Amino acid sequence: MAANSSSDRQRAAQQRLQIIAGHLQRPTNYQPDITAAECKAQEGNPNVSNEERTVPRRRQDIMKWNGWGYSDSRFLFNKKGQAEFTGKRYRLSGMIIPGLKDWMEGTFGASLQHKAPATPILNSTAVQPATINEAFVEEVKATTIPFSVEAEDRVFRAHGHCLHEIFALREGKIGRVPDMVVWPSCHSDVVKIVELASKHNVCLIPYGGGTSVSSALECPPEETRSIVSLDTSQMNRILWIDEKNLTAHVEAGIVGQDLERLLNESGYCTGHEPDSMEFSSLGGWVATRASGMKKNIYGNIEDLVVHVKMVTPRGVIEKSCQGPRMSTGPDVHHFIMGSEGTLGVVTEVTLKIRPMPEYQKYGSVVFPNFEQGVACLREVAKQRCAPASIRLMDNEQFKFGHALKPQVSSIFTSFLDGLKKFYITKFKGFDPNRLCVATLLFEGDHEKVLQHEKQVYDIAAKFGGLAAGEDNGQRGYMLTFVIAYLRDLGMEYYVIGESFETSVPWDRVLDICRNVKARIIRECKDKGVQFPPLSTCRVTQTYDAGACVYFYFAFNYRGLSDPIHVSEQVEHAAREEILANGGSLSHHHGVGKLRKEWMRETVSDVGLGMLKSVKDYVDPNNIFGNRNLL
Amino acid sequence: MNKCSGHEELDILEERRQSGDLSHALRTFSPQPYKEKPPCSASDLSKRTLESQYLQYVFKESSLSMEEVKEDARLLLEEMSQNLQLGFIRLMGYTLSKVFKRLYTNIYVNMEGLNMLQQAIQESPVILMPTHRSYIDFLIISYVLFTYDIPVPVIAAGLPLAGMKLVGEILRRSGAFFIRRSIGSDKLYWAVLSEYVKTIVRTGFAPLEFFVEGLRSRTLKSVPPKLGMMHMVLEPYFKGEVFDITLVPISISYDRVLEESLLAHELLGIPKPKETTKGLFKATKVLQEDYGCMHVNFGQPLSVRELCQGKINRSQYNLTPRQVLSPDVQACVIWLAHLIVRIQEEGSYISPWSLMACVLLQCPTSTLTERGMVWSELKDRTLWLKKLALRFGAHLRWPEQVSDQNVLLSMVALHHSIVAHKGDRVCLVREEVPIRKHRLSAEEEVNRTAVAMLMLASYRNQSLHIFLRPAMLATVIQVTKSTQRDELFTFFCFLKEILSNEFIFVPGKSTQDFEEACFLMKDCGAILFSPEEVTVTEAGQEVVSFLCAFIQPFIRSYQVMLDFLTEHEIKNISEKEFHLAVRSFVVKLILSGTTENDIIIPICELQTYEALSSDIQKNVLSALRTLGVLTKFRGSKNNEYQVDKAAVKRINDILCKSLLELEKIFTHSLLLTS
């Protein structure tokens, strides 16, 4: 019996392992490819990788040009007025979500009768004609590096995923876009392009996954030179794996899901899983100081990077060895990490890798209120026993998560749900309008995971937390991947929203959550928003000395003449509130152009001067002219 | 129902007179509390306070052992903490219904203000900030809020009240928490008190009520605000522990103040009786009297967040643990506190009697005490003043549907303790001479008159804020004889500086004060002004004369005290000595000015009794300290001061010069009126 149950558990574990992998559809004709290969561009066969990798050169073939993610996956209200998620890629795909309509109507005052549809196809005439630097183009042609001046390609690379960027696309409004897109296939291609750009004074904007939420990819409207978008997506190979040192050397254009999948084939992983990992690229992570969901085990990008190669107008910067730590003056990697494409292009990265975990287990805990939840997370951090991931959602998000429960197939499950609800609210006396939930993900040895799990649940119990099952936890993480799709659905019905993050010392967590949420609500009211906004937050990472907090806000914009302006004002005010409450300018989204007005107060005059002097030395002619950060 | 400037005023006693007090006391009370208020009892509050990070930090810093200091803190909290209980609110409601109905004909409350308060209480922690003119202030707010189903407040009170047998405990259970009068440098006490107050604000346990003026005004004019409590209630906002705090200034105005004669006596140096339960019962005889109307005006709720925008940089708390750090936010606190007092002033209602007091005080004292002022003149002047007051934006509670004659007559009747109608004249009522005494000394006679005069002055003070700024401008115009705005403004500022302890000015707003004065004077046709010049109109002379005479007693009192310092060659003086010496100096001056035939008094002698008021004496001392004329000896127990004689002379010269001018006008206007 015991053996039986343990094999059951293993089977369950296997299933669970599919979960993360499950939303990443595996290419059918996949061949392992973990050898150091020659630069394919030189072989004149640039299309090979497109079949094996997620991101083709023509991204618009599989992804939305004016929304998030894959073209085949989206939320919609079917003929019965029920929400469903299309496609086959995700766990939620093809499912009915019965609670979503009521939640949207109740939370935002939205109505299915009031639609705000997007412009269906890109009108090429709305796109400014390309400013071509003929001499540069001629020389690029000579290198055989593929490039394009087509409107669709250029528009796709003119934006990230800030609300105002997507909203403008939906309205068919196109601002300044790159004049040309190039697809280097390897480091030496990049070296050539940067040399040519310097020679002909062309502005280069590196483009990785395009998931920026800091206006980092926006072309500076005042830029008069030809702007060339350097799309790294074709530099996507793992060049080697070093099993002795547990490192892998990877081209920087690889996107998260490909990197993880390829490493998994060899039994390894990086464990770096930012919420955008389906689309965001390794180079982008390095350039923005990214953070992954499971950083408690694997670390953030700065902990993972062993070696970086970056091509700048001054030449290539890299370290001479792979020593795990060095005392050689300020770490030059830290000029690269977070440089946000202002200094050069990251082309190759050596990363730490780990053997794939034997066992993964989700979990969740319900707390009577947010205060108790935060106190529990603080204690977990204090005891340094945080699971791979631990996230605390506030009451509004708890309700939101509930609304996204797919239709339950059996009466028994729904009966069980009712019973659980009764137990928590009636028997335990939790107020449904105050309770909140923490989602957990444990990873590691089977034994250790179970031990670890017990330890965390014991701490939670001290703060009034009740274990609420694996399913709730799992759904919490799944939401992470579909929430961006939901914003597109909202926009169809006059609801716009944005998210932003910060990091803050522990003693400030509750205060900052309360004050920022309240500020959002007050600002919306002051700016004439007709309906109360959704203003919600979650604590997504714990550290020794503080936490990362993520805020979401969304509102129904009917009746507003310039909703995007209002939304930007609200976000601006919320960021002011964050800074006034001891929060940081950004935990992992970066600064871009959206937040650079606060850089001076964030790093001091001298700090900013230091960064500027680096820029002046490395790129005196501002070839990397995206004007982020500084 | 009383309509006042378009807002609905409800007489809450009207309903009490129609239905039973018991059912009122037992009414269903289920107010909408602050939305984020956690379930928290009065004792939880103390527990949270003791366990707070800040107190833990203070405990560790203490020289005592952890156990000892904790126990000390616990005892302090026990002494301090309120124990708000609904039952006692009901008991209080029942008693107050009885008392109020006996004392007052009406208690008006502005419903609009109450409605706004009800909303505000749900949104953020609320601080109720009433004026403090009478003991009655203490529970009236709780009574009104209880009546209208709004959460009742916890109230900061002086510790002596806690010492009253039984009553102290009843107050405690009605929400009072008690603060020692002189805390001095007792660090632990400060820490416990401020943490207790902040815990109340942070949790939004209940609205917090405190008197920003610190103590009851003895003179019925506003008292410069105290900053300690103000700082404590604001800090949770500065430190980001709450999203916002709402301040609600409340103006409580009385037709007649319960303790009027007690206050006058106190000002003359007769100490206030200790607060005892016995004393309270003794005082029940005052319950036999009629005190007219009372007016509770709830001001517009003010968001601290909005007020402090651009004034406080909250991120200055970012780099140090918040329990350790207290950066300098004093300027903002001072500003806010003064602002609140000014709003309280603006929100207060004045009665016809206050205007009558203004007029009466401009009549020579000897006339008032002997023949009296001619009724028709008093009436005409008061009605003239009514127009001016309304022009200046006063909230005047002037009964409608009653003839002016009757309004004024009823006022005289209400204030029979101060004035009496004799034939066609109104004269001052002085205290009865005890029968045993055969003959009063001249000084005792002065005191007798002074009691009545100071009472009168107090009622004049109720409308002080209406006339103050224009009166300062009028004075400045008369004194400088200038029409240049710059010059006028300079002297205006000088006057303001000297009088800044006497009256409430929002710091750093001299220009606005001056502009306001100019605007009001222009609006009533008294002056014309251009960007450079200010000229008095022909018709404006009357206004200017009135205004000069209005503020004259203050300026004259200041000058007398400066004279005293100059004449007596004083080098060092203690506060106590100063009061005594000034008093006898003033009595002498008054006596020397009293002549038998009502001849117009020569300039050098004193017409005002207000220089006898210990309040004004105290204010002069503070003003001189601020101006650097007096320096306090370090560590002296009796507050001894060193006098800088040159400075005294300098200031007195300027004031003296101005006084000479003023006296001329004043004499002139007296000649006209009597």
* CB nearest A507 (choices: B36, B313, B322): B322
A369 to chain B: closest CA residue: B38
B317 to chain A: closest CA residue: A582
What are the chain B neighbours of A518 within 8 Å (beta carbons)? Answer: 243-244
Question: Phi and psi for B503 in degrees, rounded to 5?
Answer: -120, 165
B124 to chain A: closest CA residue: A518
Give this complex's ipTM.
0.86
Residues B240, A507: C-beta atoms closer than 8 Å: no
* CB nearest B243 (choices: A508, A515, A582): A515
Return d(Cα A428, Cα A448) in angstroms, integer: 30
Helix (H) or strand (E) holding B426, with range, is strand B425-428
Q: Determine whether domain B9-304 maps to CATH 3.30.70.
A: no
In this structure, how many other beta carbons lie within 10 angstroms of the beta carbon of residue A470?
A: 17
Q: Is A511 on the interface with B (CB under 8 A)?
A: yes
What are the chain B neighbours of A508 within 8 Å (beta carbons)? Answer: 240
Q: Which of the 8 DSSP states describes residue A369?
A: S
Q: Which of B206, B234, B210 is nearest to B334 (CA)?
A: B234
Pairing of strands A227-231, A203-207: parallel
What are the chain A neighbours of B120 within 8 Å (beta carbons)? Answer: none
What are the chain A neighbours of B243 within 8 Å (beta carbons)? Answer: 514-515, 518-519
Which two three-digit tokens encode residue B417?
């303790």
Q: Is A545 on the interface with B (CB under 8 A)?
A: no
What are the chain B neighbours of A433 within 8 Å (beta carbons)? Answer: none
Beta-strand runs (E) in B586-655: 630-632, 640-643
What are the chain A neighbours of B241 within 8 Å (beta carbons)? Answer: 511
Residues A582, B241: C-beta atoms closer than 8 Å: no
Nearest Cα of chain A lies from the Cα of B587 at a distance, in angstroms, of 59
Residues A518, B243: C-beta atoms closer than 8 Å: yes
Sequence-separated (6 or more) residues with CB below 8 Å from residue A468: A364, A365, A366, A420, A424, A437
- pLDDT number for residue B440: 74
Return d(Cα A22, Cα B23) in angstroms, integer: 68
Size of interface A-B (CB pairs under 8 A): 29
Query: Is the pLDDT at B594 greater than 80, yes or no?
Result: no
Residues A514, B315: C-beta atoms closer than 8 Å: no
A510 to chain B: closest CA residue: B241
Q: How confident is the model at residue B93 (pLDDT cuts 50, 70, 90)?
A: very high
Ranges in chain A, pLDDT < 50: 1-3, 13, 16-17, 19-20, 22-37, 40-51
Coil, helix or strand at residue B442 = helix
- pLDDT number for residue B593: 64
Residues B240, A580: C-beta atoms closer than 8 Å: yes
What are the chain B neighbours of A378 within 8 Å (beta carbons)? Answer: none
Residues of B contacting chain A (CB within 8 angstroms): 36, 53, 239-244, 313-315, 317-318, 321-322
What are the chain B neighbours of A582 within 8 Å (beta carbons)? Answer: 240, 315, 317-318
Query: Is the pLDDT at B1 greater than 80, yes or no?
Result: no
What are the chain B neighbours of A581 within 8 Å (beta carbons)? Answer: 240, 314-315
B50 or B438: which leads in pLDDT: B50
Q: Is A518 on the interface with B (CB under 8 A)?
A: yes
B474 or B277: which leads in pLDDT: B474
Residues A579, B315: C-beta atoms closer than 8 Å: yes
* CB nearest A511 (choices: B53, B240, B321): B240
Nearest Cα of chain A lies from the Cα of B123 at a distance, in angstroms, of 10
Residues A582, B315: C-beta atoms closer than 8 Å: yes
Beta-strand runs (E) in B69-167: 106-110, 126-130, 154-158
Coil, helix or strand at residue A540 = strand
* CB nearest B314 (choices: A514, A518, A581): A581
Which of A513, A577, A581, A604 to mutate to probe the B interface, most B CBs <10 Å? A581
Q: Are A57 and A183 spatial neighbours (Cβ–Cβ below 8 Å)?
A: yes
Residues B243, A519: C-beta atoms closer than 8 Å: yes
Residues A580, B243: C-beta atoms closer than 8 Å: no
């019973």: which residue's tokens?
A419
Residues in A 20-39 with any Cβ partner in B closer than 8 A = none
Query: Is the pLDDT at B664 greater than 70, yes or no?
Result: no
Residues B243, A579: C-beta atoms closer than 8 Å: no
How would you label B615-626 residue by residue, b for 16+ Cβ within 10 Å and e otherwise?
Answer: bbbbbbbebbee
What are the chain B neighbours of A511 within 8 Å (beta carbons)? Answer: 239-241
Query: Is the pLDDT at B653 greater than 90, yes or no?
Result: no
Q: Is A579 on the interface with B (CB under 8 A)?
A: yes
- pLDDT number for residue A339: 97
* CB nearest B315 (choices: A518, A519, A580): A580
Q: Are A462 and A378 spatial neighbours (Cβ–Cβ below 8 Å)?
A: no
Return d(Cα A438, Cα B235) in angstroms, integer: 32
What are the chain B neighbours of A580 within 8 Å (beta carbons)? Answer: 240, 313-315
Question: Phi and psi for B258 in degrees, rounded to 5?
Answer: -50, -50
Nearest Cα of chain A lies from the Cα of B332 at a distance, in angstroms, of 17
Residues A514, B318: C-beta atoms closer than 8 Å: no
Nearest Cα of chain B lies from the Cα of A347 at a distance, in angstroms, of 38
pLDDT tens readout for residues B164-174: 888 899 999 99
Query: Is the pLDDT at B622 greater than 50, yes or no?
Result: yes
pLDDT tens readout for residues A204-259: 999 999 999 999 999 999 999 999 999 999 999 999 999 999 999 999 999 999 99
Active site residues of A: 550
- pLDDT number for residue B617: 93
Q: Are A502 and A177 spatial neighbours (Cβ–Cβ below 8 Å)?
A: no
**Percent over 90 (pLDDT), chain B:** 57
Return d(Cα A99, Cα A92) in angstroms, integer: 14
Coil, helix or strand at residue A541 = strand
A368 to chain B: closest CA residue: B38
Cα A66 from chain centroid? 17
B244 to chain A: closest CA residue: A515
With 0-12 / 13-18 / 19 or more C-beta atoms within 10 angstroms meaning exposed / middle / buried, residue A236 is buried
Which two three-digit tokens encode residue B355?
């205007």
CA B22, B155, B351 angle in degrees (round to 5)? 75
Which of A522, A577, A602 to mutate to probe the B interface, most B CBs <10 Å? A522
Query: Is the pLDDT at B61 greater than 50, yes or no?
Result: yes
- pLDDT number for residue A44: 41
Nearest Cα of chain B lies from the Cα of A432 at a distance, in angstroms, of 15
Q: Which of the 8 DSSP states describes residue B184?
A: T
Measured CA to CA in angstroms, residue B31 lies from A486, B28, B114, B127 at distances of: 40, 9, 13, 17
In this structure, how many other beta carbons lie within 10 angstroms of the beta carbon of residue B3?
A: 9
Q: How confident is the model at residue B122 (pLDDT cuts 50, 70, 90)?
A: very high
